[in-house]
Structure 1
């Protein structure tokens, strides 16, 4: 079957993308690595010795950057439903982070420690219907925040990809109830036409009290 005009245009853009070419030259698994590298230069997210959890990690670009920055004294735990080829310094767990069995494996790997930093560059499967895609995106990032309740240490940091659109402001407002500071970031490696932005939430207030469990975040 012949490729559609849309798929041909995407492929042409992809192969000519400077970040794609740079990733191949420098050994990163995806152009997304440069988003994290830029954000780290600006906000100093990654330091030697940190414990980092990378949710939705495949193919591994963010995990590569995290492992380089935290060094041998740090730990990077990567989780994805898709297989990911091994990365030195990264412990990979195959599974959905929303499933109890996956969480139990992650908890066993963390031991008594909680994450200093949770990363999420995940996006839902795109349907092409903006309203549907936005709802799926918000559902996914809500699950990431719920994950933080059990696995991010008080004072820790979350970096999560969110699509701008309906519900975005409400989500950001809810996140501010959980963290001391929330900032919006749009790295240069993000395509300008993309509705994606990153919310950088620092100073985690700790697990929500029982009276807050019904709040949307």
Structure 2
């Protein structure tokens, strides 16, 4: 149940205009706070108005606008695609259609069909998942591998950090196998950064590596995105002069 509080004298302040969610029997405090945040989030309303499946669509859209990730005709792999917002943005930006699908998404959660996107319902960490993705791409190389994957948090920060780094490592290893020269890798990370070995590896294989915090990523969220551009291949070379900004 929600209500809107009024200020004194009938005048509404910005604070008063926020929707407040009343506690309900059986609902956790954390769930109430999440619902209240969703109801007051302008990006949730914007996503609904634009036909996006989640507010996360604006994260990849904003990163594309600033860092020029997509071009027409690009092939894209979306890891942890559900509910499909990133795939929607990628399909529109690349010109992907049902007749010529350029986007392949994978998630263990069920998703409704998306025009121009091949969707696989499967856990990406399964041993046979990479082969199924490659088959879905028709054996062709990808121009972008993007990952918004994250394990459910345990509440123990060191454990959660190790788990997300593990996901990034698996996604990065896949990207090295399937990216075309000049390709791009985008992955969600959290405060604490990536492990030194992973960053060193990415610098060795990409011209530039940096972190991005799109405006639609909540200010109080620990998430950020690692972007690696200009895939150089998998030859064992020393790191170039790529930039690295937190």
SS in 1 for 2:204: helix
**In the TM superposition, what is the alpha-carbon distance from 1:208 to its structure 2 partner?**
5.1
**In the TM superposition, what is the alpha-carbon distance from 1:75 to its structure 2 partner?**
0.3
**In the TM superposition, what is the alpha-carbon distance from 1:101 to its structure 2 partner?**
2.7
Q: Which moved more, 1:24-33 or 1:70-79?
A: 70-79
The residue number in structure 2 matching 1:83 is 110
Structure 1 distance, partners of 2:47, 2:138, is: 34
Q: Where do residues 27-106 of structure 1 align in structure 2 (5 Å cutoff)?
A: 27-72=51-96, 75-106=102-133
1:152 aligns with 2:179: yes
**In the TM superposition, what is the alpha-carbon distance from 1:160 to its structure 2 partner?**
0.8
Give runs of ≥4 in structure 1 deviating > 4 Å: 166-170
The residue number in structure 1 matching 2:144 is 117
Structure 2 distance, partners of 1:103, 1:174, is: 20
The residue number in structure 2 matching 1:175 is 202
The residue number in structure 2 matching 1:212 is none
SS in 2 for 1:100: coil
**Aligned partners of 1:93 and 1:102 also within 8 Å:** no
CA deviation string 1:27-67 (max 9, x = no partner): 10000000111111111111110000000000000000000
SS in 1 for 2:175: helix
Change (3 A) 1:13 1:79: same
Q: How many residues align?
A: 209
Find the structure with the greater CA-based Rg: 2
Structure 1 distance, partners of 2:195, 2:221, is: 15
Change (3 A) 1:167 1:64: closer
| Superposition CA RMSD, Å | 1.7
**Aligned partners of 2:101 and 2:118 also within 8 Å:** no
**Aligned partners of 1:156 and 1:202 also within 8 Å:** yes
Partner of residue 153 from structure 2, selected from 120, 126, 136: 126
Higher helix proportion, which one? 1
Structure 1 distance, partners of 2:222, 2:195, is: 11
Gaps of 5+ in 1: 210-217
Structure 1 distance, partners of 2:197, 2:177, is: 22
**Aligned partners of 1:114 and 1:152 also within 8 Å:** yes
The residue number in structure 2 matching 1:214 is none
Q: Where do residues 7-26 of structure 1 align in structure 2 (5 Å cutoff)?
A: 7-26=31-50
The residue number in structure 2 matching 1:205 is 232
**In the TM superposition, what is the alpha-carbon distance from 1:100 to its structure 2 partner?**
3.3
1:162 aligns with 2:192: no
Change (3 A) 1:116 1:132: same
